[in-house]
Amino acid sequence: MKPLLDLDPAVVRRARSLARKAGNPVVRLATSHTTVSVERATLRLAGLAGADHERVPWVNHLVDQVRDQVGLEHGVTTPVFDALRRGEAEDLLTLAQKAASGSVSFRLPQGREATRAQAAARREVGRGIRTIDRQRVVRERLVKRHGDPKQRPWIYLIVATGDIYEDIPQAQAAAREGADVIAVIRSTGQSLLDYVPEGATREGYAGTYATQENFRLMRAALDETSKELGRYIRLTNYASGLCMPEIATLAGLERLDMMLNDSMYGILFRDINPVRTFVDQRFSRQIHARAGIIINTGEDNYLTTADAVEAAHTVTVSQLLNEYFAKEAGLEDWQLGLGHAFEINPDLPDSFRMELAHALLARQLFPDAPLKWMPPTKHMTGDVFRGYLLDGFFNLVGAMTGQGILLVGMMTEAVVTPFLSDRDLALQNVRYVMNAAGGLTEDFHPPRDGFIQTRARQVLTEAVDLLDAIVHDSDAAGDPPLLAAIADGTFGLMKRPANAGKGLDGVVRRAPGYDNPATTLLETGETR
Amino acid sequence: MTSETMAADATAQPDIIRPYGDTTGDGMVQMSFTLPVPHDKRAEGAALQLAAKMGLDPALLVHAKAMGPDFTFFVVYGRVHHLVDLRQVEVVEREFPLLSPKEVNRAIKTRLRRKLVVVGACIGTDAHTVGIDAILNIKGFAGEKGLEYYREIKVVNLGAQVLVPELVARARAERADAVMVSQVVTQKDAHIHNTTTMSAAFREAYPAGKVPLLVVGGPRFEEGSAERLGVDRIFGRGTTPGEVASYLVHALTAPTAPTAKETSR
């Protein structure tokens, strides 16, 4: 198909090369550090699960003990598997329990002993990686058996009661009503917990905790529903916050299908330390790549904090950075659910034409990515009738610009948690628009140098200018330019210096002998 | 508007009114709801029964649609006979006007002429930062951005399980105008105990009249207990960042009223 926008390929190339230039030093930073959460994720791959009677996970106990005694500079697995080889305990769980009571002494093995400990670690971590590989195969088989949704975009619906046992019937009902993707929103504040809660949970604030057991329960329920409906229902959760690598790992182990995973969201909107975020993010994206999980990025957040017209180019910049970091971590185009949103003030003249221009720009810059199209929230006023119309126009942009994943807008956005009827009406809205106008992609060709083409070019140019400013940014500490830019408030007005923010104390610079079998297996693609 | 025209308006406005559909006094309203029954004749009868009990007479069932096998959605139009007496309407005023972020920033800039400093924390053993984060983090709450979003407010969020002396020290170091504390856990009245400990510590550490504005938030504080707890203001469940920001402007920069600092012993 002929491209709908007349973009200058040289400008597009320049945008990508600037994104690479901005991202590359950050990747180097990520590969020279580890974090407590990366190390805990590695232990989870080696099979360590569960928590003590105060619900502190064993992986937290073990990582804390090793860190106190010998540090994490060499990775947690070498001293842990050395201790097992020395007979400090018969298995990982017992070792963690003993360590928690302070009765294990760890050391950094040298020479042949180090090699043996590392081989043992690789063997055990390899089991976890192979579980992820197997789950990917299971997904592929189930998709083949039940089938993908018949239409694009896939219809994405949110459930969030706080109680996993309430979420399950709601999710199943939503799938029966037409949802292709179910997202279970997390409890508010989970992103700032430095541990992953355990077990099935029945209380959360405005959402349900992400736990391995909740993942398993929901996936099993949706497998039932997929069979019933003859359509594979995908499950989404959030790999963000301080435990991003662990939650990504649990998602891989329990066959979640999509994960929210933005490169800068935690830094900007949750005040998590930038280095912590980039280190955690690279590991989590490597897991997602391996697990065949589609990531969803969070560009909608830029538009809810700033004006959607003035800040349109920040979405493009973030998409380009997210694309760079994703591909560097091994994700493929089909796994990049790059985000954007319908958030322009509807009172502005030509607001719909601008939305079309922005959506087409994203579509054309990332032709092979399943873009995630997100509904209006900021200009939903409580006038549910007007909100319903706005959602209809949002759906129309989705249909006309070939979006990959459509988050269904609710007319009661910002009023109440959606009523059963709100969800049904919202799905009727989507179905009507898709049915009536889904074929418009065939007829719709914005005229050359018309309003839409001009607006798209303008946003792209502004994005290139911003990327250019980012790669030329600097700070006194000599941090990578992107970190300097984040520190001086380039994104969304928030200043987030590299040496501040939550989770900074969990960042450790790797020593020359650092070993992490998970990272090795993820980088090489090996299975054992 | 002159007093004459106001009087004319007042006489033109009746005190007793009814909803307006398309004719004065027709009392027409429209509503929608869902009942947990499958869609059939009985369901439609049930919807009309509800409408009648709600005072719609006659009620017109204009739309009924199954929402899955177990629920039915209805749209009902009808006439209500209730009268609204405007003279009996009571309006409870917030003690401060609600401002937009722009207005908050402008008020701070023109009246304080520097950034307003807020130090926030969850104190004691409370690890529930949900409340304080909803108010302070840029992500915000209920579609409103948190205080971090305000250009003229400097936010220092210390997070969870902060010790009271640490909070006092940080508030002094930052020259805080306001200290914000969130208390979610209420076991054994921990929220009361923590709050009084905190307010006492601030009064001890600061000279009289110089104590920063003390604000606590949480779902279980009694309304009107601020004075007893030694704080300036309590915010309850559902408070949005915009309300807190508006209050801060009101309490700390109000040009006429004495500031809360001075009134708070």
| Local confidence band at B190 (pLDDT 50, 70, 90 cut-offs) | confident
Q: Which residues of B5-20 are buried (b: 16+ CB within 10 A; e: fewer)?
A: eeeeeeeeeeeeebee
pTM: 0.84
CA A371 vs CA A368, A403, A452, B203: distances in Å: 9, 6, 19, 55
Cis preceding linkage at B207, omega within 30: no
Identify which of B260, B250, B252 has the alpha carbon closest to the alpha carbon of residue B96: B250
Average pLDDT over residues B25-51: 97
| Local confidence band at B23 (pLDDT 50, 70, 90 cut-offs) | very high
* Eight-class DSSP state of A273: -
Tokens, residue B217: 């938030």
Q: How many A/B residue pairs have CB atoms within 8 Å?
A: 56
d(CA B195, CA A223): 49
* Eight-class DSSP state of A233: P
Torsion of CA B130, B136, B139, B143, to 10 degrees: 90
Q: Which of chain B's residues have a Cβ under 8 Å away from the Cβ of A409?
A: none
Given an 8 Å threshold on Cβ–Cβ distance, is A421 in contact with B149? no
B63 and B48 in contact (C-beta within 8 Å)?
no
Task: State the smallest CA–CA distance between residue B192 and chain A in angstroms.
Answer: 22
Q: Average pLDDT, whole number, for chain A? A: 94
Average pLDDT over residues B72-78: 98
Of B51-55, B69-73, B190-194, give the lowest mean pLDDT range: B190-194
Given an 8 Å threshold on Cβ–Cβ distance, is A493 in contact with B149? yes
Task: State the smallest CA–CA distance between residue B34 and chain A in angstroms.
Answer: 7
A377–B contact, CB cutoff 8 A: yes
User: B101-263 maps to which CATH number?
Assistant: 3.40.50.280
Tokens, residue A245: 């690598």
Asked about A163 being catalytic, the answer comes back as no
Given an 8 Å threshold on Cβ–Cβ distance, is A270 in contact with B68? no
At which residue do the structure tokens 């005694």 appear?
A: A69
Q: Which of chain B's residues have a Cβ under 8 Å away from the Cβ of A494?
A: 138, 148
* Eight-class DSSP state of A295: E
Q: Hey, which residues of B are catalytic here?
A: 139
A219–B contact, CB cutoff 8 A: no
pLDDT beyond 80 at B258: no
Interval A384-428: pLDDT, tens: 999 999 999 999 999 999 999 999 999 987 677 788 899 999 999
Dihedral sign computed on CA atoms, order B142, B148, B154, B158: positive
CA A146 vs CA A159, A183, A223, A231, A233: distances in Å: 23, 20, 10, 5, 9
Strand B28-35 and strand B72-80: pairing?
antiparallel
- CATH architecture of structural domain B15-87: 2-Layer Sandwich (3.30)
Residues of chain B with CATH 3.30.30.60: 15-87
Interval B145-172: pLDDT, tens: 899 999 999 999 887 778 899 899 999 9
When CB atoms are compared, the residue of A189, A419, A494 closest to B129 is: A189
When CB atoms are compared, the residue of A270, A304, A492 closest to B137 is: A270
Residues of chain B with CATH 3.40.50.280: 101-263
Complex ipTM more than 0.85, yes or no: no
pLDDT at B264: 33
When CB atoms are compared, the residue of A377, A420, A494 closest to B143 is: A377
- pLDDT tens per residue across all 528 residues of chain A: 568 899 999 999 999 999 999 999 999 999 999 999 999 999 999 999 999 999 999 999 999 999 999 999 999 999 999 999 999 999 999 999 999 999 999 999 999 999 999 999 999 999 999 999 999 999 999 999 999 999 999 999 998 888 999 999 999 999 998 999 999 998 877 888 999 999 999 988 778 999 999 999 999 999 999 999 999 999 999 999 999 999 999 999 999 999 999 999 999 888 899 999 999 999 999 999 999 999 999 998 888 777 899 889 999 999 999 999 999 999 999 999 999 999 999 999 999 999 999 999 999 999 999 999 999 988 887 899 999 999 999 999 999 999 999 999 999 876 777 888 999 999 999 999 999 999 998 889 999 999 999 999 999 999 999 999 999 999 988 999 999 999 988 876 678 899 998 999 999 999 999 999 999 999 999 999
Q: Which of chain A's residues have a Cβ under 8 Å away from the Cβ of B75?
A: none
Given an 8 Å threshold on Cβ–Cβ distance, is A421 in contact with B73? yes
d(CA B27, CA B83): 9
Asked about A265 being catalytic, the answer comes back as yes
For A278, the 3-state DSSP assignment is helix
- Count of residues for chain B? 265
Backbone angles phi, psi at A300, to 5 degrees: -55, -30
Given an 8 Å threshold on Cβ–Cβ distance, is A420 in contact with B71? yes
Query: Where would I find the H helices in A263-331?
Result: 265-270, 274-291, 300-305, 312-328
Number of alpha helices (DSSP H) and beta strands (DSSP E) in chain B: 9, 10
